[in-house]
């Protein structure tokens, strides 16, 4: 299902469902330049009233710490009225059988929201929501498929660290089958330049989907797959670690076969480049040991703050436009 519109240099009034909506690097740079301005608002500690006439609803059908709070923080820093709803799967009429389409229409009517932010376990949830919504939808994580705003914040973090978004070797490690953040980030890195090399590191059973590999390769991106992190650790600029996603495994014994398959510890980090950065969308379970938290190359906490700035930028661009 593909109901989303390409951005074509304009975000106003459009849903943000997928990285595939970008047609050029320039569109991503518009978001980053706006995020730079948003960062200044937060650093000055002065709440802005850019969105004071707007109401933003958040509907989360899956747990979230970062995405939920950074969207909420983003809306509040810009002065919007906020309707933050966690626990949709447990407490909304979805429990009684209400469809997502009806819930989206209902929330619009009951809150007069100008924009709806949605996290949902179904891969096509954001497309379904956008098709049935009177107002723009932002995909805050859809099933195993995409987490486009996470990719934006991830790349913003890379840009802050390296002052560039191309000519980079990025290793994505862990559950590449079930994880949605790696899929969106790989598509975004591919859009930013043919000189970005992506190395997918996973056990055989958790490889990135073939369709994604084919899309990346057909757009000219250099993609490589391995199950051996030791083989690549000294060659990469960015180590993007992900959790093995237990919630998607049908059987505990299948999960146990791959749990703990990669651990980022001091020994591994001693072989990495001095300027390599470690990222993780979080939550982590045990794939990065806490001893690494104080390593200057660990960026997974700063990475979250990028979510506040880039999500402020997206709210502004979608509700008010580029100017
Ligand atoms: N990175 C991320 O999506 O984290 P949450 O699940 O806590 O929102």
Percent of the chain with pLDDT over 70: 99
Average pLDDT of span 228-257: 97
In the chain, the N- to C-terminal Cα span, in Å, equals: 32
Q: How confident is the model at residue 124 (pLDDT cuts 50, 70, 90)?
A: very high
Q: How far is the CA of 259 from the centre of ligand 1 (A)?
A: 20
Q: How far is the CA of 150 from the centre of ligand 1 (A)?
A: 8
Q: How far is CA 124 from the centre of its chain?
A: 16
**93 and 178 belong to one structural domain:** no
Reported as a single tens digit per residue, the pLDDT across 101-111 is 999 999 999 99
Distance CA 131, CA 5 (A): 11
Reported as a single tens digit per residue, the pLDDT across 283-323 is 999 999 999 999 999 999 999 999 999 999 999 999 999 87
158 located within any domain: yes
Ligand 1 atom, smallest distance to 67 CA: 8
Q: Is the pLDDT of residue 199 over 90?
A: yes
Q: Tell me the residue range of the domain where 315 lies.
A: 19-147+306-320
Percent of the chain with pLDDT over 90: 97
**27 and 161 belong to one structural domain:** no
Report the pLDDT value the prediction gives residue 2, as an integer from 0 to 100: 53
Report the pLDDT value the prediction gives residue 323, as an integer from 0 to 100: 78
Q: How far is the CA of 74 from the centre of ligand 1 (A)?
A: 15
Average pLDDT of span 50-54: 98
**246 and 164 belong to one structural domain:** yes
**170 and 285 belong to one structural domain:** yes
Q: Is the pLDDT of residue 178 over 80?
A: yes
CB contact at 8 A, 114 and 55? yes
**88 and 232 belong to one structural domain:** no
Cis amide prior to 283 (ω within 30 degrees) = yes
13 located within any domain: no
**64 and 135 belong to one structural domain:** yes
Catalytic residue numbers, as ranges: 66-67, 96, 119, 147
182 located within any domain: yes
Contacts of 4 (CB under 8 A, 6+ apart): 14, 15, 17, 18, 20, 21, 127, 130
Q: How far is the CA of 141 from the centre of ligand 1 (A)?
A: 8
pTM of the model: 0.97
> What is the tally of structural domains in the chain?
2
Contacts of 298 (CB under 8 A, 6+ apart): 277, 278, 288, 292
Ligand 1 atom, smallest distance to 141 CA: 3
Q: Is the pLDDT of residue 206 over 60?
A: yes
Contacts of 67 (CB under 8 A, 6+ apart): 60, 119, 140, 141, 147, 149, 150, 307
Distance CA 169, CA 213 (A): 16
8 located within any domain: no
Q: What sign has the CA pseudo-torsion 95, 99, 101, 106? A: negative
Q: How confident is the model at residue 194 (pLDDT cuts 50, 70, 90)?
A: confident
| Tokens read off for 262 | 């990669």
Q: Is 284 in the pocket of ligand 1 (CB under 6 A)?
A: no
Average pLDDT of span 62-88: 98
Q: Is 281 in the pocket of ligand 1 (CB under 6 A)?
A: yes
Q: CA-based angle 27:29:30, to the nearest 5? A: 65
Q: Is 303 in the pocket of ligand 1 (CB under 6 A)?
A: no
248 located within any domain: yes
Q: Is 65 in the pocket of ligand 1 (CB under 6 A)?
A: yes
* 213, containing H or E segment: helix 210-218
Q: How confident is the model at residue 3 (pLDDT cuts 50, 70, 90)?
A: low
CA–CA distances in Å: residue 102 to residues 107, 133, 217: 9, 9, 39
227 located within any domain: yes
Selection from 47, 76, 70, 71 nearest residue 58 by Cα: 71
Q: Is 67 in the pocket of ligand 1 (CB under 6 A)?
A: yes
Q: How confident is the model at residue 1 (pLDDT cuts 50, 70, 90)?
A: low
Q: How far is the CA of 149 from the centre of ligand 1 (A)?
A: 11
Report the pLDDT value the prediction gives residue 92, as an integer from 0 to 100: 97
Ligand 1 atom, smallest distance to 304 CA: 1
4 located within any domain: no
Report the pLDDT value the prediction gives residue 141, as an integer from 0 to 100: 98
Average pLDDT of span 167-181: 98
Q: CA-based angle 239:240:241, to the nearest 5? A: 105
CATH of the domain at 167: 3.40.50.1370
Sheet with 197-201: strands ordered across = 222-226, 197-201, 169-173, 238-241, 277-279
Selection from 79, 88, 86, 18 nearest residue 50 by Cα: 79
Among 4-8, 9-13, 91-95, the minimum mean pLDDT is found in 4-8
CB contact at 8 A, 119 and 141? yes
CB contact at 8 A, 298 and 29? no
Work out the number of other CB atoms within 10 angstroms of the CB of residue 268.
Answer: 17
In whole numbers, what is the pLDDT of the chain averaged over residues? 97
91 located within any domain: yes
């Amino acid at each position: 299902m593909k109901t989303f519109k390409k951005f074509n240099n304009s975000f106003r009034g459009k849903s943000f469902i997928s990285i595939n909506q970008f047609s050029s690097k320039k569109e991503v740079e518009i978001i980053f330049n706006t995020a730079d301005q948003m960062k200044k608002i937060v650093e000055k500690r002065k709440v802005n009233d850019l969105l004071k006439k707007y109401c933003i609803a958040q509907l989360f059908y899956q747990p979230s710490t970062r995405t939920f709070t950074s969207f909420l923080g983003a809306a509040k820093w810009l002065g919007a009225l906020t309707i933050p709803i966690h626990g949709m799967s447990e407490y909304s009429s979805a429990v009684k059988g209400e469809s997502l389409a009806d819930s989206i229409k209902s929330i619009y009517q009951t809150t007069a929201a100008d924009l709806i932010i949605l996290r949902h376990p179904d891969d096509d949830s954001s497309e379904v929501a956008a098709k049935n919504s009177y107002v723009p939808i932002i995909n805050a994580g859809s099933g195993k498929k995409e987490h486009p705003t996470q990719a934006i914040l991830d790349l913003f973090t890379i840009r802050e660290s390296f002052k560039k978004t191309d000519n980079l070797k990025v290793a994505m490690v862990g559950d590449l089958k079930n994880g949605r953040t790696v899929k969106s980030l790989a598509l975004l890195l591919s859009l930013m330049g043919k000189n970005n090399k992506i190395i997918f590191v996973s056990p055989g059973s958790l490889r990135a989907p073939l369709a994604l590999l084919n899309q990346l390769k057909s757009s000219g991106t250099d993609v490589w797959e391995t199950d051996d992190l030791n083989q690549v650790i000294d060659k990469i600029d960015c180590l993007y670690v992900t959790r093995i996603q237990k919630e998607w495994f049908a059987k505990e014994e299948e999960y146990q076969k791959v749990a703990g398959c990669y651990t980022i510890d001091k020994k591994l980090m001693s072989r990495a480049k001095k300027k390599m950065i470690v990222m993780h969308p979080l939550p982590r379970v045990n794939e990065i040991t806490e001893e690494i938290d104080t390593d200057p190359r660990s960026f997974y906490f700063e990475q979250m703050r990028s979510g506040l700035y880039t999500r402020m930028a997206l709210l502004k661009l979608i509700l008010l436009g580029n100017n």
